[in-house]
Amino acid sequence: MVFLEAGLHIFPERLHQSLQTEIDGVDDAVSHILLGFGFCGNALVGLRSTDKTLVVPKVDDCITLLLGSIARRIEINSEGSYYLTRGWLDNRITIWDEYKHCLERYGEQQTRIIMRGMIGHYRRLVLLDTGVPGGGNWRETAGRMASAFALQTIEVEGTSLLIEKLLRGAWDEDFLVLPPGTEIERSMLLDASSTDARSGGQHGGPEPPTAGAATVRAPRPTRGTPGGEGRGGSVSAIGTCGERSRHEKNQG
């Protein structure tokens, strides 16, 4: 299993390069590579494998991956939603950390102006419960954030359905199954109606661990069709071990 640093989401080009390096280094015996990512910062665009099939969830970012569908993301984003998960708050640099830093450096009045420019178009703070155990007082921290940023708070339940389907080889219309030599293009996602154009939602990252990269045995689908039971193939999956580290990468 290969896990990449969540902090790479700050730098999409570096994330892209790291992913391509991992893809190029997968063992020759592997036939399929599973990418446990959304199109976060377009880091997936341009990735390719010369001799292996790439399988990618058809989602715009990792928040949509955890919500289970683009349609659900659009519905929740109807009022301008900023997402939080326990894993995101566990990162070293979050919008809450930057808020406290601004308070110390600039004072309350100037900090309000800065924060208004950063997240002023949001109306709700959405706590995305991914079911990951532990996490301490992340809801308490979220409550303080909501108060400081004048946001309403709601909690929604996440789902691991897409991740489970990815790993067990149930690659239906929710996935891109790209033959060897095929380069990932942004238009492949846009064909599925991304939330970017209609909801203005933020881009968030996966709750650790969402997917990893391990050589596993899984159903091996025919090209462009869902995987079928009993058709084994060697598969490698690649994903992040944490969420995005900076709030700028959590915005749309």
Name residue, tokens 């924060």. 115
Residue 183 pLDDT > 80: yes
Model confidence pLDDT, tens digit, residues 61-118: 889 999 999 889 888 887 788 998 887 777 656 788 889 999 999 999 999 899 988 8
* pLDDT above 50 for 205: no
Q: Structural domain boundaries of the chain?
A: 2-250
Percentage of the chain beyond pLDDT 90 is 45
Could you tell me if residue 30 is left (phi over 0), alpha (psi between -120 and 50 degrees) or otherwise beta? beta
What are the two backbone dihedrals, phi and then psi, of residue 125, each rounded to the nearest 5 degrees?
-105, 115
Cβ-based neighbours of 149, under 8 Å, separated by 6 or more? 99, 115, 119, 122, 125
Closest CA to 38 of 14, 15, 7: 15
Q: Is pTM beyond 0.75 here?
A: no
CA–CA distance, 138 with 4 (Å, rounded to integer): 24
Place of tokens 């990468």: 249
pLDDT tens per residue across span 12-24 = 899 999 999 999 9
Residue 233: what pLDDT?
Answer: 52
For residue 152, the surrounding DSSP H or E stretch is: strand 152-157
